[in-house]
Amino acid sequence: MNQESEMKMEKVVITGLGVVAPNGNGLTAYEQALRQGVSGIRQHEHLAAAKFACQVGGIPQGIDEIKHNYLSDESLLAMNDAMVFGAIAAIECWRDAGLPEPGEETDWNTAAIIGTGISGLDTIGEKLVPLTDAGKVRRLGSTIVEQVMASSASANIGGLLGLGGQVTTNSSACTTGTEAVANGYHMIKQGLSQRVLVGGTEGASKYSWAGFDAMRVLARGYNDDPESASRPMSASAVGFVPGSGAGFLMLESLSSAQARGARIYAEVLGADVNCGGQRNGGSITFPNPVGVQRCIKTALKRADIKPEQVDLINGHLTATMADPYEIKNWQAALGCEASDLPLINSTKSMIGHGLGAAGGMECVASVLQLAKGFVHGSLNCKDLHQDIEPYAGSVVHETKTIDAQILAKSSFGFGDVNACVLFKKY
């Protein structure tokens, strides 16, 4: 067997995690919040001032107090929210993986795929457009481009960590973070890199969220009760709660992880990313069910596991009309009776929908659950949607201790795009 074939057979493992989330910054705080069902959703005055119908959102708290522990004052001058959230989570992930503090040398063995959905709109809305329209271009400063380019977060992280592999940005709407994990997995399987930092980051700008409010897909009627606003799988769901933050995983070939004695959280067994082509009922905003089911089935095939081996599902589950369809697609893809659907939960019930960062934060939650032997509950769904009632025994309401071996993580996004990743406890 030649060296290339051996590399393609490499197992891909997770050696580091990093997170900045609305309900907890850092792994310890995030895990505790997941276990205890702590919501990070709050009412925000800047949304009220902009006359949003939905004035609640998930925004990481206490960032101004901790960002100076990670970043210099000079570097912060050239960063917007998405860059700051991403930088902190990336540094946390790097350290959690037990890698040496970045020095003067380039790390040629580590790549990065840093996803984002609508990054940089805060800088564009608050600075670029107003100053340009006012004829004050000279006041934009020398760092404006690095804050508004689509690859701002990945470029920033590549420099902070001294990465020498491919450093790039992916963007596929709400599938972005999970797609980054899938793409990084394939990079390692193909022998293109020993390690890949993967995930997503998203800022909390009103400019990023305004379009969704205009579409009337954000949660309305809970401005005075923000922790009840995100209601995945619920009969009283009224739309998703916008969220923000960052979540990253350090993917690594098993041989590399073992050679340096790294702690291993889980293995990535397989993954698939596809598009439903906006056919068969699919559209820019709604998934083609055949595409969703094919994505799940292909991920299972690549992982070489049977549907009945899946113990947990961390769903996309946004608290919109799509939730019942998502669960029905899982049942169809797994070929099981409604009563036999694996346990399923929604991290968005606690943090809202982080758009391009959603998959990253939720993949971190997924791996923590596998590695630490628990499954977190979903908030605000005691009143299950009538079409989800047949699956009631699978919906997790309160955190449980469980020795699960395989978790399936899914994400679906505008454009009829889908992603599914299968994690196995190591």
Known catalytic residues are: 174, 316, 353
Q: Give the length of the chain.
A: 426
Beta strand pairing call for 167-168 and 110-115: parallel
Tokens of 122: 């805060």
Tokens of 196: 């890949």
What secondary structure letter does DSSP report for 174?
B
Residue 114 has phi, psi (to 5 degrees) of -110, 105
Residue 34 has phi, psi (to 5 degrees) of -65, -45
Residue 36 has phi, psi (to 5 degrees) of -90, 0
Report the candidate in 171, 187, 181 with the shortest Cα–Cα distance to residue 111.
187
- Dist CA 359 CA 412 (whole Å): 9
How far from each other are the two terminal CA atoms of the chain, in whole angstroms?
A: 26
Strands (E), 237-276: 245-253, 266-275
CB 423 within 8 A of CB 268: yes
- Radius of gyration for the chain, computed over Cα atoms and rounded to the nearest angstrom: 20
Residue 150 has phi, psi (to 5 degrees) of -60, -30
- Dist CA 200 CA 177 (whole Å): 5
Report the candidate in 337, 331, 301 with the shortest Cα–Cα distance to residue 313.
331
